[in-house]
Amino acid sequence: MTAGKNTHSEIGATTFEDRSSVEASTLEPKTLDFFLYIAGEAVHWDWTPPIEGLYQFTNEQKGRFTHLKRCGLLVVEEIDDDNHQIFFTNKGVTLAKEHGIEIIARR
C-alpha cells in the first residue's frame, strides 16, 4: 500500500465495479417514489426520458438519482451537450413492474 492512501476495501467504500450490485431493497421510500415518478414518465418519452424533459431536480433528488444509478436501476447516456437520456436496466424494469408500472428496457 502506498503511504497515505487507502484502498476502497480498507475504508469500507463501495468500489466502482461493485456499485451496480447494491440492492434495490436499500431504497428509502422517497427514493423509490422518485424512481417510480421517472418510470411513470417513461411512457411519454418512448421509454427513454430525457433528464431535461423532467422537472428540474433539487439537490436532494440529484443525490437520489445518483443512488438509483449506483443501484443499477437506470443509466444515463449523453446524446449531446443538452440532451441526456435515461435508460432503464432489466433490474429497473423489474422494480417498476413490481409496483404496477410497465416499461421497456432499451439497453
CA dist 19 → 3, 14, 104 (Å): 26, 6, 23
Give the per-residue pLDDT at 50: 85
pTM of the model: 0.72
Determine how many CB atoms are found less than 10 A away from the CB of residue 68. 25
> Which residue in 76, 74, 75, 93 sits closest to 84, CA to CA?
76
Give the per-residue pLDDT at 107: 63
What are the 10-residue block averages of pLDDT along the chain, 107 residues in total?
42 39 70 95 88 84 93 90 88 95 84
Give the per-residue pLDDT at 82: 78
Looking at domain 26-98, its CATH class is mainly alpha
Q: Where are the domains of the chain?
A: 26-98
Give the per-residue pLDDT at 12: 41
